[in-house]
Chain A
């Protein structure tokens, strides 16, 4: 415990800790704060409202309507939005490709392209295919447009939104009041943003800590001490995890206050523990795995490779995701970039638990690997320069 508290104190005295706090608070207040301003969510929907917001639909009819309208519009202006590797790219088709696309639209609607454009402003496309055939046609369209278009199957099925009806809005409202107790929905969005930063930042803590002995020329003397390698590594690891998690937790506790206040003011019982619970389940494993990987890689290589590896892993995880809401799998960066959706979340929550448990387990394994490497280095004569190397004199 003494070593752990001393490690915490060292982090408290380090510049990187305060840079992290500033970045995290700024990031959360600008990103999460912007999206979560909508405290009106706690207002009960009333019949006859002009609109009730939007919801993601899994209804094939609605998906087909939305996609066919989109592809006709993009073909009309010959400008297709794509996101290959996560970054926006505009695609313009040549004449032959446009003809192929017009043919696909004909198969979807039964209408010739010339007829469509002749009265484009008033044209309402009829969809004349079965869903399976629709998917095949859209796959052909994706071949023409290229990777990352809006007409890929997963993209359409996860991102098609339709206006909510009063009944939809009431159902959503009831879920938020009774299942999320208001704060739950905001806590998920908070975690969604925080997890992006926490998939990267802890690697700097881990690498810095592991290289510190060598940089300070303290490795030789520390290696010679009687303390076990396990105690050194676990104390350092735990101290880093705790000191990264504490500002996250404190930010979460502070940021939830307006939502609790608004809920209570509206006579709704808020869940005071939601931000803490979500942070522990969602964010703590993220900090654990990123820190553990940085320890293992840095102890093994004696360099800053962990930073590159972590960047690649985090970005690959984010870019591989077809949706920003759920579909957790074993992704490193687990997202829920929306307010509401309690029912959908509860249907997937077990996947989230499995995901997070997996990374906690993997963290334990990586910490054990770090201990092993550290132990070997202590015995094999890496005392002066940190790497497993031969030393003479």
Chain B
């Protein structure tokens, strides 16, 4: 069970959204990371047959994407902005979408309550979609994506706009449903990938700039991440000189995290790298820009 993407290209007029993308995605959680506009949604839409590719091959579990009916049967898709008709209850919305996924009445009677239970929406089964919070809608979204037991689940920016608690709950939910399936998680939020995915690809301006495990990504910055206390006034200058991936300010003193091939400051100490450091380092090398990480 795998998704094979070979020399995939997608153009919108003169603009090339995807440039010779090659990927093999196997069972489990797969993270697709990249900044906004990198081409993630385009890639998701090609996999879910919602956009036609310009060139290349995409096979989902041995089925070419040109066979849209078969692909749609075996995939579940949670788009970036998922919603349903506001006047439907959670149960009705899920039941409606289950019909569109080809489930019989008998199957729906069994599956709809089961899925609502799974995504912790049983108590809100009669809540109207228009009254749902962002988190509830996303959980309903994942329920509709898995109700027909697809082999592949594609979720596009599922945690954007969620509060931290909802975000963690949603990540856990994704991990639960990922067993024996391919789950592609597209996001620009590094924390989502770090918490859930073993295999990732980083997409930038339509090109895959990294494809491998999280450990392999971390390996790229191993021994190159430093932490130092500096005067807050120095930060601007530091940003000019180094790749600063984190700043924690306390009064006039700030603790900065820097990714550098050499020890950047005398008082700097080596610390353990996280995925965000590695991602920013990768993007920095790719774009040549000084990127700043989280600032607290």
**Does A associate with B in a complex?**
yes
Query: A residues within 8 Å of B by Cβ?
Result: 2-3, 6, 10, 13-14, 212, 216-218, 220-228, 232, 378-381, 383-384, 390-393
Q: Is residue B42 within 8 Å, beta carbon to beta carbon, of the partner chain?
A: yes
Highest count of chain B CB atoms <10 Å: which of A14, A224, A225, A391: A224
> Mask for B33-71, Cβ within 8 A of A = 1, else 0?
000111111100100111110000000000000001100
B93 — nearest CB in chain A belongs to which residue? A218
Distance, CA A3 to CA B98, complexed state (A): 10
Using Cβ atoms and an 8 Å threshold, which residues of chain B touch A6? 95-96, 99
In the docked arrangement, what's the CA distance between A303 and B50, Å? 21
Q: Which residues of B contact A228 (CB under 8 A)?
A: 69
A71 to B48, CA, bound (A): 73
A220 with B51: CB separation less than 8 A: no
Contacts of B283 in A (CB 8 A): none
Across the interface, B12 reaches (CB within 8 A) one of A3, A212, A392, namely A392
- Residues of A within 8 Å of B148, CB to CB, are 226
Residues of B within 8 A of A (CB): 12-13, 15, 17, 36-42, 45, 48-52, 68-69, 72-73, 75, 77-88, 95-97, 99-102, 105, 129, 141, 144, 148
Closest to A220 in B: B79
Q: Is A391's CB under 8 angstroms from B41's CB?
A: yes
Alpha-carbon gap, A14 to B88, bound state (A): 11
A217 touches B102 (CB 8 A): no
Bound together, the chains give a CA A6 to CA B79 distance in angstroms of 23
The minimal Cβ–Cβ distance linking B188 to chain A, given in whole angstroms, is 10
The reply to whether A224 and B79 contact each other, CB–CB distance below 8 Å, is yes
B77 cross-chain contacts in A, Cβ below 8 A:
220-221, 224
Q: Which of B36, B49, B50 contacts A393 (CB 8 A)?
A: B36
- Tell me the bound Cα distance from A383 to B141 in angstroms: 16
What's the minimum C-beta distance from B99 to chain A, rounded to whole angstroms? 5
CA distance A384 to B50 in the complex (A): 10
A-B pairs with beta carbons under 8 Å apart, 23 shown: A3-B99, A10-B88, A216-B84, A218-B82, A220-B79, A222-B97, A224-B50, A224-B77, A225-B101, A227-B101, A227-B102, A378-B49, A383-B79, A390-B12, A391-B41, A391-B45, A392-B15, A392-B17, A392-B41, A393-B37, A393-B39, A393-B40, A393-B41
Task: Determine which of B49, B81, B101 lies in contact with A217 in the assembled complex, contact meaning CB atoms within 8 Å.
Answer: B81
